[in-house]
Amino acid sequence: MTQKVYDSYFFNEAAFNTHDEAYIPLEPANVAPQPLNIPPLLQPDKSTDTDTYYTVEAQEGETQFLPGAKTKTWGYNAPYLGQTIVFENGKNVHIDLKNSVPELTTFHWHGLNVSGPIIDGGCHAPVYPGETSHIDFKVDQPAATLWLHAHPCPATAEQVWKGLAGMVLVKDDVEAKLPFPRNYGVDDIPVILQDRKFHENNQLDYRADYDPDGAQGPTAVINGTINPYFDVTTQRVRLRLLDGANRREWRLHLTDDLPFAQIATDGGILPKPVYLNRLMMTAAERAEIIIDFSDYKEGDTVTLYSDDAPLINFRIHSFEPEDRKLPDHLVDIPNPDVTPGTHVHQAVMSGMDEEVELNGKKFDMQRIDDKQQVGNVEYWDVTNTNEMDGGMLHPYHMHGTLFTVVSRNGHEPNPNEFGLKDTIAVNPGETVRLKVQFQMTGVYMYHCHIIEHEDGGMMAQIEAYDPNHPQTYKLMDMDTLMNAFAKERHENVQDVWLPGMDSYKKMGMKM
C-alpha cells in the first residue's frame, strides 16, 4: 500500500518568522565543508544494574567555528554544547552538577519527568560558580529525545547562546524492539539546529544580537559545525532533530523532496510513522525522522535544507541494501479520561517585543499562578492572541509533564502531533487544547520557548500538589538573583544587564 506523504508545513504561512521585519535569513558561510560533529556519549562515573552516576559540568571553552581565532564558548563537559547523556528507563540516576562558568547557572532537564523546582532545574535551582549541587531521581518515562539547557531567568537566552545546551536520550525496552536505526554516530545521529552571528575575531556578542522577539544569526550552526557533511554508510539513517535555537523556526526538506518517516516527537515514539517531505520545527521541539537513501548511489549527495538554506550535505557511500519496513503501528499512547469536576486551565500568550505576557502578567519568580492536583488529568487551553498579519508563532512549553494534543481551534491536531509532547507551536489567533497530567509534586514553569520571550516575562508557574502531603517551597527572588550576578560580574547591581529586564523596565514592572 502506498503511504500518504504530507507536503505541508501545517502552520500558517503568514505567521512564519520570515515575515518579521527583524528576520535574519541564513547565509552561506565562507567555510570549507567539515564533517558533522557528533557529540560523544557522556560516560558514567559509575554504573550498576540499578543505578547510574554522572558528573555534568558547565564549563568555559574555545571552539573553532571559523578560520582564524577560536570563539569563546560554554558547554557541558565540552567546549560548546555538551556530551550526549543517556538515561535508561527504570534506573536510578545520581548527578553532580558542577558549575565552572563564572556566573550562576541552572541545569534544566527539558522534557524529563522529575520533581520541581530543584531537580527540574529551572530558575529556583541556581548553582553558583565553583560550586557543585547534587540531584537524584528515577527515570520513569518512555524512550525519547530530550535536552539539557541553562535556565537562570532572565539570563537563559544569553547562556544558551553561549552554548549551554546538549542532547539527552532516554532508552527503554519498547523502543529497543522496533526496527529503528540505533547505532549512535553511524545511523542514529543527533542534529542540534542553531544559528549564530560572529563578530570581531569570530566572537559571540549576545548583547549586540539581542532582540526581544528572539536573537538570530545569519550562520547555521549544526552540532557546533558550520557547513557540515555526513558520510552515509547505511541505507537508513535516523536523525534526532532538536530546534536548539533561541527563536528560529526550521522548515526542513531534502533534495528531490525525498520523503522521510517521522517516528517520534518531543516525548517519545509516535503511535504510527508519519510520512512527510516537509517538517517545520519551532524553538525547543524535537522530532526523530528516518531517511531511506535506497534510491541513491555512491557518490550522490542529498542535502537537508531549511527553506532554501543548506544545512547538512549527506554524502552517499556504498551500503548494504536492507528491506526492513516500519510497521503501521509503533506504540500505544496513553489517553486517560479527564478527571471529572476539574476546570479548564487557561494559558494566554499575548504581545510581542517587550510587551509579552502570559495571562495578562509578566513572570514573577515568587508567584504561583495555577495549581493542579498530581494524578488528575485536566484540559489546558493554550491561546496565542497575536493577529495573523504581523503576529508570530509562539512555541509553548510546560515543565514537569508530557501532554497530548486534543485539538487546534476545535479541529484535529496535525498528523505528527498524536504522540507525547512538552512543546507545541500555536498559531496567531489559535487555541490549542491539551490534556495534561502531572505525576510528581513541585513548582514548574510554563512559557513561550522563544527564549527571549520567557526571559521577557511570557512565563508563569504552576504547583503540582498532593492534598495529602502539602509542601512549601523556597523560591528564588529577584534581589538575591541580581546581587549574585552583580558580585560575579564585579558590577554594581544597578549596572547589571540581563536579557529580558528591558521588557520589565519598559512596562514599568519588576520581576
Give the pLDDT confidence of 145-182 residue by residue, as tens digits: 999 999 998 999 999 999 999 999 999 999 999 999 99
DSSP assignments along 188-235, one per residue: EEEEEEEEE---GGG---HHHH--TT----SEEEETTBSSEEEEE-SS
Question: Does any domain span residue 88?
Answer: yes
Cell (9 digits) for 6: 504530507
Amino acid 1: pLDDT: 47
> Residue 322: inside a domain, yes or no?
no
Inside any domain, residue 95: yes
Collapsing DSSP states into helix, strand and coil, what is residue 61? strand
Question: What percentage of the chain carries pLDDT values higher than 90?
Answer: 94
DSSP labels, 276-307: ES-EEE-TT-EEEEEEE-TT--TT-EEEEEET
The pLDDT tens digits of the residues spanning 415-444 come to 999 999 999 999 999 999 999 999 999 999
pLDDT at 2 over 80: no
Residue 480's SS3 state is helix
Q: Calculate mean pLDDT across residues 244-254.
A: 98
Q: How far is the CA of 455 from the CAs of 154, 251, 306, 356, in angstroms?
A: 4, 25, 26, 10
Q: Domain range for residue 112? A: 35-175
| Separation between Cα atoms, residue 341 and residue 408, nearest integer Å | 23
Q: Cβ(118)–Cβ(92) under 8 Å?
A: no
- Label each residue of 397-410 as H, E or C: EECCCCEEEEEECC
C-alpha cell recorded at residue 403: 501532554
- SS3 assignment for 361-372: ECCCCCCCCEEE
Per the rule left: phi > 0, alpha: psi between -120 and 50, beta: everything else, 449 is alpha
Q: Over the stretch 314-334, which tens digit does the pLDDT of each residue have?
A: 999 999 999 989 999 999 999
Rounded CA gap, 493 and 497, in Å?
Answer: 9
CA distance 455 to 478: 13
pTM equals 0.97
* Each residue's pLDDT tens digit, 363-408: 999 999 999 999 999 999 999 999 877 789 999 999 999 999 999 9
Residue 49 three-state SS:
coil
- Identify whether 278 is part of a domain: no
Contact, 270 vs 419, CB < 8 A? yes
Q: What is the pLDDT of residues 343-354, one digit of tens each?
A: 999 999 999 999
Tell me whether residue 86 is in a domain. Answer: yes
Name the nearest CA neighbour of 230 among 315, 320, 311.
315
For residues 17 and 477, what is the distance between their CA atoms, to the nearest angstrom?
A: 34
CATH of residue 140's domain is: 2.60.40.420
Distance in angstroms between the alpha carbons of the first and the last residue of the chain: 57
- According to DSSP, the residues that pair with 34 across neighbouring strands are 228
The secondary element (H helix, E strand) that includes residue 157 is: helix 156-162
Q: Determine the pLDDT at residue 3.
A: 87
| Per-residue pLDDT at 508 | 81
Is 84 part of a structural domain of the chain? Answer: yes
215 found inside a domain: no
Give the C-alpha separation, 330 to 264, whole Å: 10
Closest-CA residue to 298 (of 271, 272, 318): 318
What does the mean pLDDT of the chain come to?
96
Cell matching residue 69: 581565532
Q: Is the pLDDT of residue 511 over 80?
A: no
pLDDT at 505 over 90: no
The pLDDT of residue 461 is 98
Rg of the Cα atoms in the chain: 22
Cβ count near 105 (within 10 Å) = 26
User: What average pLDDT does range 265-283 have in this prediction?
Assistant: 98
CA 156 from chain centre, in angstroms, equals: 13
pLDDT in tens, 292-307: 999 999 999 999 999 9
Res. 49: pLDDT tops 80: yes
Segment (H or E) for 134: strand 132-138
Domain count, the chain: 1
Q: Residue 58: inside a domain, yes or no? A: yes
Average pLDDT over residues 73-101: 98
